[in-house]
Amino acid sequence: KSLPKMLHYRYEAIRPHIEKMELPVCIGQDIYGNPVSWDFADLETLLISGEIGAGKSSLMRVILTTWVKYTSPDDLRLILVDLKRADLGLFHGIEHVDALCFEAKDMRKPFALLRAEMYRRGDLLLEHGVTHIRRLPFKLPRIVVVIDEMSIVKRETDLVEMIQQFASQGRALGVHTIIAMQRPDADLLNSALKANLRVRISGRQADAINAKVAGVIGAEEIDAAARGRMKIKIDEVKEFQAFFLDEGACKEILSPYKALIHDPEPDIEVAPQSIFELLEKEEQ
Q: Which residues are annotated as a binding site for ATP?
A: 50-57
Cα–Cα dist 241/197, whole Å: 22
Enumerate the known binding-site residues: 50-57
Amino acid occupying residue 176? H
Paired sense of beta strands 24-30 and 7-8, if any: unpaired
DSSP letter at 42 equals T
Helix/strand number for the chain, H first, E second:
8, 11
Paired sense of beta strands 24-30 and 199-202, if any: unpaired
CB 114 within 8 A of CB 166: yes
Paired sense of beta strands 175-181 and 35-39, if any: unpaired
Distance of alpha carbon 214 from its chain centroid, rounded? 17
